[in-house]
Structure 1
Amino acid sequence: MGLKKEKNPRKATLQRFVIFLVEILFWQPLATGQQFSAERYPHQVHRGYTNKDGLPPGNIEKIVCDNEGIPHVYAAETFFVLKDNGWVEETGGSRWFEATQEIDEFSLPNILKVGKIRQVARLGSEVVIAGENGLFSLSDGDWKLMLPRQNSIRWAPIDIRATSYDPAGQLWFACPQGVGHQIKGDQWELFTATDGLPFNDFTCMAATTNGVWFGTTNGAIRYFRKQWEFRHGKRWLIHNHINEIACGKDGKIWFATQGGVSQIEYCSLSLQEKARYYEEEIERYHLRTEFSYVSPVLLKEPGNKKTAVAQSSDNDGFFNGLYLGAMSLAYEVTRKPVYKERAKRTFRALSFLSEVTQGGSNPGPFGLIARTVLPTEGPNPNLKDSPERDRRIRSKEDKLWKVIDPRWPVDKTGKWYWKSDVSADELIGHFFGYSIYFDHICETSEEKEQVRAVIRRIIDHLLHHDLQLVDHDNQATRWSGLSPEELNLNPENWEERGLNSWSMLTFLLIAHHITNDLKYRDQYENLIKNHGFALNGMTQPQVISGPGSFHQGDDDMSFLNYYHLLRYERDESILNNYQLGAFYHWRVEQYERNPFFNFVYAAGCLNQKREDHWGVVDLSPTGPWLEDALDTLIRWPLDLIDWPISNAHRIDMVSLFPHTREPGKAIGKGHRIGGYAFARDEQASTYLEDDVWQLRFDADGTQLRPATAYLLSYYLGRAHGFIRGFDHSSDKSD
C-alpha cells in the first residue's frame, strides 16, 4: 500500500485513513460476555517550532489563540503570529495579550494579603484569584479565602500557581499541594500523587473541552475522564519547562516553553488504522537490503525522517521472526494479499540467514544461522568488531565473551558479510515466525516443504552439536548453551536455566509440529523425562522476585515460547505444567500491561484449570487484563523516534524494590503508585523487550524504530478473538 509523496509524510498518511473503520473489543463469550467499544480513539500528535521556524531562539514567554484558533506569542520583546507553518513578526500583536495584563493591574483589599497574583479566572460575575498566599474568590461583592474540602479532608492551599474555569463552568486550581476541582458549592475533588497526579511544580493551566492541561517546570499534564496523562521529552514537547498554555477552537493545544513552541493536536484512529499507519512507515523507512529486512533506522538529522538510513542490528533474525509472525497473523484475520506477500518476503529474508553461513573462506557448520547480513560493497564491519575489541570486552565486561576472527565472514558469493556468534535468543525469533507462517500462510506442499527444510537444518544443527550452536571456528557461540549439561550442571548458566530449557523444548515441539518427524518428539520427551526440562521452567522461567524483576528481554522470549508450548502440546500432564509455569510468570508480568503478554497468556490459559494434590487452581487471567491490553495499544505513540524522556521526578513514582534486580541494578527503576508500569505513551518503550521500569531514557532523536511489537500484539489479539475487527473496507483493499 503505497503513499503519495507529500511535504508532510505523517499528515499525508493519516489523511488517507478511511473513516468507516469500527472495531469492537470483547471478552471471549465463555469468559464473561462483556463487550468493549473500540471504534476510533483520539491520538495526540506533537509538532515543535523553534528559531528554524521564525521564532527567536530560546524562551517563549506568552502564548494566546485568537477567535480563529491562530496562535500568537510574545518573546524577546517582540510579538509573533503563525502564518503558513512559519512564525512572522506581528505589528500590533500586543492586543492579543491585553486581557492578561489585568493580573498586574488587579487591586484587592490589603486585608486579604494575596501576595503575588499568578492568574485570574472569570465566570460571569465570579472572579477567582490564584495568589501567592491562597485562593481568593469574589462573589456578590465579597472577597473570601477559599478552603476546599473533600469529605473529611480540607485544604488551606498556598502558593497557588494557576486557576481556571472549565467549559462546564467548574473551577480548577493548581498548587504544590495538588490540584483542586470544584464540582459545586462546597463539593470538591482534591488530587495528590496518591490519586495519580504526576507532578506538582506548576506554572500555568488551561481548561478545554478535551480536558484540563497543566504546565509545569518539567513537563505537561492532562486530566481527562478521571485519568492523568504526563507529557515529557521531545516526543511531546520542544522543551519541558512550560510558561503558558493556549487552546485553539480546533482543539489544538499550544505551549509556550523555554525552548520554543509546542503544538499537540488530536487525530482519531482505530486500532486497525493505526496498524496500517505503522505498516506504511515500515514500508517507507525500515526495509533493508534486497531481502527487505525490517530494521531500525538511523536519522542523520534528529527527528527528520527524510534523513533515514536503515541499520542492521545484532538481532535482525529475532526481530524479523516477530515481524513474520505479525504479517502471517494479519493475513489470517484480514485475508488481504498484501500481508501474504509481506510474510513470504520476510520468510525468504529470515531463511537466508541459515543459508549465507555455508561456504566462503570461513564456512559455518550446516544449519548455523547468522545474526544479520551486510553488503560487502559497504564498509568492512570487522574493522570495528575486531578481535582486539573482543578481548577488551572479555577483560572488562564479560569473562565468557567469545573472541572470534572474523566476527563478520564473507559468504561464498562475495556479496555479503554475515555476523557470527549467534545466540539462542535469535532461534526463539526464528522458530516463532516460522511456525506461525507455516500455520497461517503455507497452503501448498511446496510452501510447507520450504519451511520444513529450514526447520530441519537448524534443529539438526543443534542435535548434531549436543544442543549447542557451533560457529565457523567449530566452537560453541557465547550464548548457546541448551544442553542438560549446560543448564543443569553448569553454574554459569543458572540465570538462563528455566528460559533456555523451555526454549529448547519449544524448538523441538515446533520441529515435530511442522515436520511430523518423531525423532524430534523423542528428543523432546527425553529432555522432559530424563533431564527435567519441563520442571526447570515451571518455577524459574527467569529469575522472578516480583514485578520488574531481572531482564525484560527474557520475559519477552518466555512469552514467545509460551505461545507455542501452550498451543502445540497435547499431553495433558505436560501441558498443565506449562500452563502453571506461565500462570506464575504472568501474575508478575500483568503489571506491565503488555498486550502481547496478556493475549498470549489468555490464548493458552483462559478457562483452564490445574488440579493436583493441593486442589484446583483456576488459571484464567484475572483483573483488567483485557482493558490493560487495549489501553496500551491505544496509547502506543505514533512517534516512534527515540527521544529523551524521564519519569524519575514524578511524585506518583515508587522506586523498584532492591531485591527485584541484581545488586545495584534496581536504581533508576520505578512504577506508579499501585504497582503498575507507567503508560506506554509516557515512557520510551516501543519494543517488547524494552525495560518498562526504566525511569530515565537518554536519546538524541536519531533512531526510528519499527512498530513490530504493536503489530504483533494487535494481530495476535484479533486472531484469538480478543479484538474483533469489522474493518471490511480496509481489510479487503490495498
Structure 2
Amino acid sequence: MMKFNVTILCSLALLISACSKPSSTHTASSSYADTAFLQDYSVKYHVDEKDAALWRVYANKEGKIQVLASTGLKQLHDGRFLYPGRVVADHTYRFMAAKNIVDMALCQGQFVYLGGHTIFSNAWSGRLHVEHQLDNPTAFAANDSLEFLVTNGHVLHFIRRHAVAWRGQVPEGGVLQVLGHPEDQSLFFLLAPEALYRFSAATNQLEKIHEGTDFTAFDIDVRKNQLVIGTADGYLRYGLAEGKQVGERQRALPWTEITAVQVIDGNSWFGTPKGAFSVKENGNITYYASKRWLPDDQVVAIAPGGDGTVLVLTRNGLGHICFKKMTLHEKAMYYEQQVRDRHIRNGFNATLTGMTDGDFSTGYLGDSDNDGLWTSLYLAAQAFRYATTGEQQALEHCMESLDAMARLYDITPVPGFPARSFERRGKGDTRHMLSDPERWQLAEHPDWYWKATTSSDEAIGHIFAFGVIAELVDHKETRDKAIRLIDTLMGHIVKNDYYLVDYDGQPTTWGKWNPEYVNGFPTTVGDRKLNSSNIIGMLQTAYHFTGKSVYKEKAFDLMDNHGYLENLMRPMSEIGKAPEGADDWSKLLSGSWNHSDDEMYFAGYWGLYRYAFNDTLKVKYKEAILDHWEAERPEKEGAWNIFTAITEIDTFDLDEAVWYLKEYPLDLVQWTVTNSHRKDITLLPPNFRNQTIETVLPPDELKISRHNANRFILDGGNNGAAENSAGDIWLFPYWMGRYLGVIQPPADEQTPYTK
C-alpha cells in the first residue's frame, strides 16, 4: 500500500527551516496563501505472471487489497512511490488455491467470492457459505443484507437467507455486470449490451428500464441518484428518479471507449484502453495515463482503495492513485531532497539518465550541453531560498554549485571563456566524448575533459545566477566570487567584440552579440530582439556590481548607435518568419517560435529590469517584458508568470502560476505520454508558435519538460530512461515566488527571519 512517506520528509524539512525572512523589498499586489492541497501520485505494482488475466480489484474495510485473476487470488507485495511493487499470489488462506473463484465483491466491507458451486467468504468466521445452484456461474452482486443476485449467462438466481428465493431468465444479449444498490438493499441492476434492467428483491420482479447501444460497464452515483453507464463511445447518465436518460451522451473525453466505471466520493472514474480518467462533480477531467500513473494503459477495473485513494487495475498490474495533503512548501522540501538524492554531479544540477523503465538503480548522472544553464537556475533557486529563509543548507548548496560554475572558467585554456560542462576521463563510457572532438577537449589536468562551443543561453544563465547571488546572498566570500565571475565572463565578451571566442580562436555558433551579426537579421527574426535584450541586461549587471564604466559605456553605445534599444523594444507581435529574400541562416532561425528563446529572454530580464541604468529605461524595459508575457500567457508557464512579478505589475496570472506548481507531478521520470488521440481537446491549425490546442493541458498529463520547451507539445517522453531534476523545473519558480513575496510561507512559518 502507500509507503511514500511525504509526512516524514516534510517534517524533517520543517525542522531545517525553523525561521523565515521577509521576502524582499518588492510589494506584491497579491500573493498566494500557501494552504494544503491534494497532491496526487501513483504507487505501481506489476504482475509476476505475464499470462495471468486480471479481472477484479477491491480493498476491504481494513485496507487489504486483493486482486482476482484467471490464475487465482493475488495480493500486493512491497511497492512505494517511484519503486514499483508486485502483484503476487495470495496464500494467506491456503485452501483458496483450490477454489475456482470466478468473481468477487464487497459485502459489509468484506471480501465475498463467487465459486463454482457456492458464494462464500473468510469473514464472519467463515459462516457465509451459500449454494447458488448454478452451473458455470459468471458474475454476481451482493448487498449488505447478505443477499445475492447471481448469473451464469443464461439464468439468474436471487439468494436470500442462504436459499434461492427467485429464478429468472438472463436478458437478451447476456449480462455484462450486476450491481446492488448501496443504500436501497431491495434493488439490483443489470447491464446488458443494449439495455439496463432493474431487479426488485421486494417484489421479485425484473424489468427493463432503459435501452441503448454498445453498453460496456456501469456504476451507481448515489449522490445524484443516477446510474453512470459507459459505452463503446462515451458515457451517459440514467436518472433513477426521472426514469430516463439525463442529459446527452458525453464524448468530449480523453478516450471514449469505456471499459470500467466507478463512482468514488462523488467523482466518476472511467477506464479505457488508453488509461483512466476522472470526471469531477464540476465537470473537470483529470487524465491518468502512461507509466507515470499505471503499469500500462489497458484498464480492466477501478475500485476505491481506502483513504480517498483509487485502485486502477490494468492488463499488466495495478496503479494505486494516492492523494496527499501538501502545501507548496512541503512539495518544495520533497523536491529539495530529490535533487540531493539523485541529481548533483560535481556540483551541477544534472539529469539521472541511462535508466531502464524508470529504475533508478540502472541510471547514471549524465553531462549536458547545458549543465551551466540548468545549474544556473538551481543556483538561483537556492539563492532565493537563502535570501528568503536564511537556511544554512541553502547557502551550502549555493556555494557548492557556484564552485562548479567557477570551474567551468578554470578548466578552459581561454581566459574568461566558460566550458559547457566537464567530466572525468576515468574508465567509464567515454565514447561520446571521443566521437565529438569539436566539443570535448582534454583538460590540462590528466583526469578531465571539458566541453567547448559554449552558447548564448549558457552565458545569460550564468549572468542571471551570478547577479542574483551578488544581490541577495549576504555571504561575503560567495558574493565576491559571483561578482568576479560576472566580470570574468563580461570582460571576455567585451574584449572579443561581443563574441564568445573558443579554444580555436573562433566565435562559437551561438555566442554572438556583435552589431554586425545581430543587425544582420531582418527585424522579424527573433534573434535580433533576443540578443539585443540579453547583452544589454548582461552589461547592466556587470556595471551594477563591478562599477566598471566600460560596461555602461558599451551598453549605451549599443543602444544609441546600433539600435539595440529599438531591437529589444520590438513587440512580439512583429516577430515571425524571415521575409522572402532573407539569407538561409535567418530563415532557419525563424521557421517557428523557439521556446529556448523564452528562457533566455526571461533570464535576461532580471538584469535588464532590476539593474536598469535609469528610470526612463526601466519604464521601457517593463513595457518590453509585459509585451513578452502577454504572448506567453496561453502556456501558463509557472516560471514566466512569476518572473513577470519583478515589474510589480498588479496582475500577472498568479493563479496560473500556482496551478502550474500544484499540478507538476511528483514523479519526474521521463515517461512516454500521448495526448494527441484525446477527444476532449480542440486541435488548432499549424501556427508560428506551434500552439497545438486551445487550452494547455496540466503538467502532470504532459511529458516532463524544462522551461525551454513548448508546453503545447502533446506527445513525447523517453520510456522511463531518465529522471529530471526538480532543481530548475520546479524549485526555481517556487523560491523565486517566495522571494518576490507572491507566494507566502505556510501559516506556521510566518516568524520573521533575523540575522
TM-score w.r.t. the length of structure 2 is 0.79
Give how far 1:414 is off. Answer: 2.5
Map of 1:74 onto structure 2 = 68
CA contact (8 A) 1:468 1:476 kept: yes
For residues 242-282 of structure 1, what are the alpha-carbon distances to aligned partners after superposition, in whole Å with 9 as ceiling and x for unaligned? 01112233333222211222222222221111111111111
In the alignment, the residues of structure 2 paired with residue 602 and residue 588 of structure 1 have an alpha-carbon distance, to the nearest angstrom, of: 16
Alignment of 1:182-193 (within 5 A): 185-186=241-242, 188=246, 192=250
What residue is the counterpart of 2:662 in the other structure? 634
Structure 1 counterpart of 2:9: 16
In 2, Cα distance between equivalents of 1:103 and 1:29: 70
Distance in 2, matches of 1:542 and 1:559, equals 17
Q: 1:33-72 maps to which residues of 2 (within 5 A)?
A: 38-51=34-47, 54-57=48-51, 59-72=53-66
* CA distance in 2: counterparts of 1:287 and 1:559, whole angstroms: 25
What percent identity do the matched residue pairs reach? 24
Partner of 1:521, secondary structure, is helix
- Structure 2 counterpart of 1:524: 555
- Distance in 2 between the 1:104 and 1:145 partners? 22
Deviations 1:415-466 (A, max 9, x none): 321100110110111111111111111343x543322221111111111111
Q: What's the RMSD between the two structures over aligned residues?
A: 3.6
Which residue number in structure 2 is paired with residue 681 of structure 1? Answer: 700
- Aligned partner of 1:133 in structure 2 is 194
Offset from partner CA, 1:14-72 (integer Å, 9 cap, x none): 5332299799xx9x998876x76542222222222224xx4444642322333323222
Partner of 1:703, secondary structure, is: coil
Q: Distance in 1 between matches of 2:151 and 2:698?
A: 37
For the residues of structure 2 that align with 1:326 and 1:469, how far apart are their CA atoms?
Answer: 26
The letter of the residue matching 2:385 is: A
Q: Aligned pair 1:458/2:489, yes or no?
A: yes
Q: Secondary structure at the match of 2:215?
A: coil
Alignment of 1:553-632 (within 5 A): 553-569=596-612, 571-607=614-650, 620-621=651-652, 625-632=653-660
Unaligned runs of 5+ in 1: 1-7, 147-155, 359-363, 391-404, 608-619
Aligned pair in 2 of structure 1 residues 541, 354: CA closer, same or farther (>3 Å)?
Answer: farther
2:326 to 241, 256, 269: 269
2:259 — aligned with what? 203
Structure 2 distance, partners of 1:558, 1:462, is 18
Counterpart of 2:674 in structure 1 is 646
Provide, for residues 464-518 of structure 1, a one-character-per-residue CA deviation record: whole Å limited to 9, x for no partner: 1111111111011111221111111156993422211111111111111211222
Query: Which one of the candidate residues 666, 670, 673 is aligned to 2:692?
Result: 670
Within the candidate set 544, 562, 566, 1:513 is matched to 544
Distance 1:560-1:273 versus aligned 2 partners, 3 A rule: same
Separation in 1, partners of 2:568, 2:681? 32
| Residue in structure 2 matched with residue 705 of structure 1 by the alignment | 724
Deviates more, 1:229-238 or 1:133-142: 133-142
| Other-structure match for 1:317 | 372
Q: What aligned pairs does 1:73-472 form with structure 2 within 5 A after superposition?
A: 73-82=67-76, 87-90=88-91, 91-92=95-96, 94=101, 96-98=112-114, 100-101=139-140, 102=150, 117-118=176-177, 120=179, 122-123=181-182, 124=184, 125-136=186-197, 143=207, 145-146=209-210, 158-166=213-221, 168=223, 170-171=225-226, 172-176=228-232, 178-180=234-236, 185-186=241-242, 188=246, 192=250, 197-209=253-265, 211-226=267-282, 227-289=284-346, 292-358=347-413, 364=414, 366-379=415-428, 381=430, 383-385=431-433, 405-444=437-476, 446-472=477-503
Is the 2:28–2:741 contact (alpha carbons within 8 Å) kept by the matching residues of 1?
no
Query: Structure 2 counterpart of 1:163, which letter?
Result: F
Decide whether the 8 Å contact of 2:473 with 2:479 is kept in 1.
Answer: no
Taking the aligned partners of 1:567 and 1:276, their CA distance within structure 2 comes to 29
Distance 2:573 2:453 in 1: 23
Structure 1 position 723 matched with structure 2 position 743:
yes
User: Any idea what SS the aligned residue of 1:670 has?
Assistant: coil
Secondary structure of 1:202's counterpart equals: coil
Classify 1:340/1:489 alpha carbon distance in 2 versus 1 (closer, same or farther; 3 Å): same
Q: SS where residue 218 of structure 2 aligns?
A: strand
What is the distance in 2 between the residues matched to 1:350 and 1:58? 53
Q: How many angstroms apart in 1 are the aligned matches of 2:365 and 2:288?
A: 28
String of CA shifts for 1:101-122, please: whole Å, max 9, x gaps. 3465576999986765345462
Q: 1:643 to 1:428 in 2, by over 3 A?
A: same
User: Cα deviations across residues 221-247 of structure 1 (Å, max 9, x unaligned)?
Assistant: 012352210011101010101011122
Equivalent position of 1:399 in the other structure:
none
Hey, what's the Cα distance between the residues in 2 that align with 1:246 and 1:550?
Answer: 44
Matched, 1:659 2:652: no
**Shift in alpha-carbon separation, 1:629–1:109, aligned structure 2, 3 A:** farther
Contact 2:521-2:528 within 8 A present in 1 as well: no
Query: Which letter does structure 2 place at the counterpart of 1:259?
Result: N
Q: Say which SS state the counterpart of residue 256 (structure 2) adopts.
A: coil
Distance change (3 Å), C-alpha of 1:287 and 1:204? same
Specify whether residues 627 and 639 from structure 1 end up closer, same or farther in structure 2 by C-alpha distance, changes over 3 A only: same
Max radius of gyration: which structure?
A: 2
